[in-house]
Structure 1
């Protein structure tokens, strides 16, 4: 809990003063029953809100780069091009005006920005949401690639 409080306190930055960021989890993006089609199981109340959500980056503008402006944010560690993608209501297409650092594939990150409901084809997957990024915040604990138990506690 202290780690979450620390990470959320990092959000006190000038770009976010205009509207306080709402901390959300992936379950907030698909609020209905699990047997609903992903295209209709979206959270209309979040459209246009400034949010912060933890996740894992899958760059869309080139693998192996140290920075990116265009990526998918996923709830699962290890999402990549050779695995079936998550459903659209569990994938967020994120764009930034300025490139942000790409953490390792096992390292989560917090993304803060304006969330919109937007169905689109982004790279190899269909997404149901878009975030215009305001800030990328390093996860407060570095996760080693051999520590898979900790890597899934986000």
Structure 2
């Protein structure tokens, strides 16, 4: 229960950010992802217990994300908001209405 109620950082609300992480598909088809969780490590929420909610971001891209052959880490750019959400794969403490989702390049 404490895991689900991990504190978020109020100062981040409304901030324009660029954040890297791994995506966990919530909605989409075999070619596109329309909604996903951004998590801090590969396999989070699927093969192991999910991270605490304050380490998970619910992402709603402006445009569906094209699924590539290697869906590794991604960069997500947009405005971060404090918005708790519960899914079957894990809870999120933040939401981004993403302007841009692109492959992670290490920069």
Q: TM-score, normalised by structure 1?
A: 0.60
Whichever structure has more helix as a proportion of its residues is 1
2:43 is aligned to 78
Which structure's relative contact order is higher, taking Cα pairs within 8 Å and 6+ residues apart? 2
2:17 is aligned to 51
* Residues 1:66 and 2:31 are matched in the alignment: yes
Whichever structure has more strand as a proportion of its residues is 2
**Structure 1 residue ranges, 4+ long, deviating more than 4 angstroms after superposition:** none
1:135 is aligned to 100
Q: Is the 8 A contact 1:51 1:114 kept in 2?
A: yes
Aligned Cα root-mean-square deviation (Å): 2.3
Shift of 1:82: 4.2
Q: Which residue of 105, 121, 126 maps to 2:91?
A: 126
1:1-154 alignment, distance < 5 Å: 39=5, 41-62=7-28, 65-103=30-68, 104-105=70-71, 107-140=72-105
Q: TM-score, normalised by structure 2?
A: 0.83
Which sections of structure 1, spanning at least 5 residues, go unmatched? 1-35, 142-153
Aligned residues: 105
